[in-house]
Structure 1
């Protein structure tokens, strides 16, 4: 619970400090006012004792006790105002009345109570002033023929004196109380906005972290698709080259040429992807606030800690975008199948429906599904026959890659497997809103099926 200054004045509740004071300055101020008020009331108590027929020390002691009530004005402002009203007929406690009315108006006491007490104080001061002015007029020398105070002088002077004593402290107290409540409201609003901004910043950081992780995953998937298939074919051709090197030199030369071509293609694709990453990271450094040129981003001490993370995210997005625009499409499926055939795999490609052009992301995903399925055949089903079916439908394109059992006589290339191929295919297809199913067949082979929406569904 937030305790405002106005709330402290009304209830005396403070988060700490001396008694009901929150700060030492407030305690010093109230003690000083109480001392001055006690001195005033003690001095005025002499006249009160004389009029009441009491000994002067009694009047002084009474005045000191009354004036010291101002010490509790912050905790009990109503008590201070009531005491000042009670001693008004004794013509003492004017400072206590002024300060009490100001404190009451500035506090969180209900306005109806403030108005009632201010009205009572005004009436009491007015009555006492009327009596005092009449006495002064009666004792004064007013023998001038043109001066008659009985009709207008006494009430006019009494009204001005009453308003002069009561109106300024009440109005000023109301202003200070309203200003204090406004400042507290603004402070609470600022704290709330700060908390909201902090929460939004945390959420933005989480989203940025998720986006960076997503882009890293996408780039890792791209590099896996680019490198794994080419290298798998290279290993298969190298094994075939080793087997026929002495028996059929011409076929060995052909296989060696194929290995070289595939290696060059893998290096070219890998270099293009790394080039996009490097350009994206270089262009992202200045925007991160380092203030340096792109060429100086790698120098010691020239980059701040958040820059590499931001650069990775932007570079990943640039790489994924470039891959989406320049990546393979369905027209390259025949070339992909031919590469596997050259490696000795029996591959049958069947296309159903009228071929047409799809969005780059759809075609690229379909191509990668076939590519990864063929890579898995090279890794896990050496010598198996592969059947690829591509169906062009009205609102979707379907791909199915099915292979039979591995040929026991075929040489196993002993290719390593990271277990991420099927996971990557599933993520690609699901990201486009498609359906992906994979699993073994009854004949001992393996089947991969994917259905990709096109048009508005894909978007």
Structure 2
């Protein structure tokens, strides 16, 4: 645990020789007060030496030395008050008593000790004042104030010299403790706010990372599948362009349709980034994704301008997307590309959550995309099973047909990773791996209703 700034400053000042004073002005003030107390006691020592029958010089020196005790008021306030009470019968040390009582009341000394010493000082001052005034009244026979004058005056003077410094010291001490408490509370709140700010920054960073990952998955799902089919159709178009012009025309139309569909989905996703109110940043350069979305969406709009297609409903959330009812169309696209695909559905179809249906669609899409990339000419079986409380999917392909031409599609290895992340986020299970027959199989089981916030 580290020391506070005040403690470090106090330690530094003690190291420079300031003893127990925290500030230089405190030392100067105590020195001035001690000098005034010493001069007062020295002057009162003259009268004390006459009444005690001792040499005047001895009384002056005694008073001068006693007055300097006030210099210790911050370190030992109890000792200062006790000395002032002790010299009260000698009628000296009144400044020392007033300042000592104030310091004692303002310090951290227990209140019972403060009350005891204040009472002793009050009694000592009252007795000395009573004796002195009674002697003065007796020495002046022409002055007859009455029996109550001397005791009342002695009590008033004793209370007047004792109560104000004690009350002021109590007030200053309470105010000082309150300020220290508020300062400590402010420091604690500042530390808590700093911790909360750090946690908020961490959560924001995690949210940005998750959002970038989610956008990357959506972009991969759209681009990888559509472009893979376009490459396959383009290869088929190149092969039959001279032999079968009509088939080439159909393949060209399919390529155009798939390109428009890919651009439409890209425009929908980029529209989300374009309409984001905040500047969510991504990448090491700190470029706002919203700016990227505006530029990319403008490019997509320019690319699809003039095409005969259904207008895209851009700006929708990324959570919107294809579902299980569009699996037939997805399988048909692969069939049109020359793939042999069999779709098997078991159980009665029912409504699922949007996230579940979209994830199920993407799993099948990723399986078909992988077959286009790595197993050209292989037969594929897509299985969809509606079960109680869950939906199961499986995409299995046989070994690649050696006679089929490889489309030469690149692979980054991110598709299966993204699918596993999607399925796990919904509380499902995802398994993929080669089969004994030399093919490949990926399976997913999703709960009928995904977890909140998935």
- The question of a shared fold, defined as TM-score above 0.5 by the shorter chain, is answered with yes
Partner residue in 1 for 2:385: 391
Q: Tell whether the 8 Å contact from 1:104 to 1:114 is kept in structure 2 after alignment.
A: yes
Counterparts of 1:186 and 1:310 in 2: how far apart (Å)?
A: 45
1:246 Cα deviation after fit:
2.8
Q: 1:154 Cα deviation (Å)?
A: 2.3
User: Where in structure 2 are the equivalents of 1:54-453 lying within 5 Å?
Assistant: 54-142=54-142, 144=144, 147-149=145-147, 152-280=148-276, 283-284=277-278, 308=288, 322-325=317-320, 327-453=321-447
Separation in structure 2 between the aligned mates of residue 246 and residue 378 of structure 1, nearest angstrom? 24
* Counterpart Cα distance in 2 of 1:445 and 1:237: 23
Task: Give distance in 2, aligned partners of 1:131 and 1:201.
Answer: 70
In structure 2, the residue corresponding to 1:16 is in which secondary structure?
Answer: helix
For residues 82 and 229 of structure 1, the distance between their equivalents in structure 2, rounded to whole angstroms, comes to 95
Q: Equivalents in 1 of 2:180, 2:254: separation in Å?
A: 79
3-state DSSP class of the match of 1:323?
coil
Q: Which residue of 2 aligns with 1:301?
A: none
1:140-161, CA deviations, whole angstroms, 9 ceiling, x for partnerless residues?
A: 23455xx532xx2222112111
Between the aligned partners of 2:79 and 2:364, the Cα distance in structure 1 is 89
Separation in 2 of the partners of 1:276 and 1:26? 66
- Rounded to whole Å, the distance in 2 between the matches of 1:369 and 1:383 is 20
Structure 2 gaps of 5+ residues are 294-313
Aligned-pair distance for 1:70?
A: 0.9
- In the superposition, the TM-score normalised over structure 2's length comes to 0.88
CA shift at 1:312, angstroms? Answer: 9.0
Name the residue aligned to 1:16.
13
Question: Greater CA deviation, 253-262 or 39-48?
Answer: 253-262
Q: Which residue of 2 aligns with 1:299?
A: none
TM-score scaled by length of structure 1: 0.87
CA RMSD of aligned residues (A): 2.6
CA contact (8 A) 1:126 1:158 kept: yes
CA distance in 1, matches of 2:290, 2:451: 31
Consecutive unaligned residues in structure 1, runs of 5 or more:
289-304, 314-318
What is the CA deviation profile of residues 318-376 of structure 1, one whole-angstrom value per residue up to 9, with x for unaligned ones?
Answer: x9962323x10111100000000111111110111111221111111110110011101
Select between 402-411 and 119-128 the one with higher mean Cα deviation: 119-128
CA contact (8 A) 1:48 1:59 kept: yes
Aligned to 2:307: none
- Kindly state the Cα deviation for residue 385 of structure 1 after the two structures are TM-superposed: 0.9
Deviations 1:15-49 (A, max 9, x none): 53622111122112111111111111110011111
Distance in 2 separating the partners of 1:306 and 1:244: 48
Report the counterpart of residue 49 of structure 1 in structure 2. 49
* Alignment length (residue pairs): 425
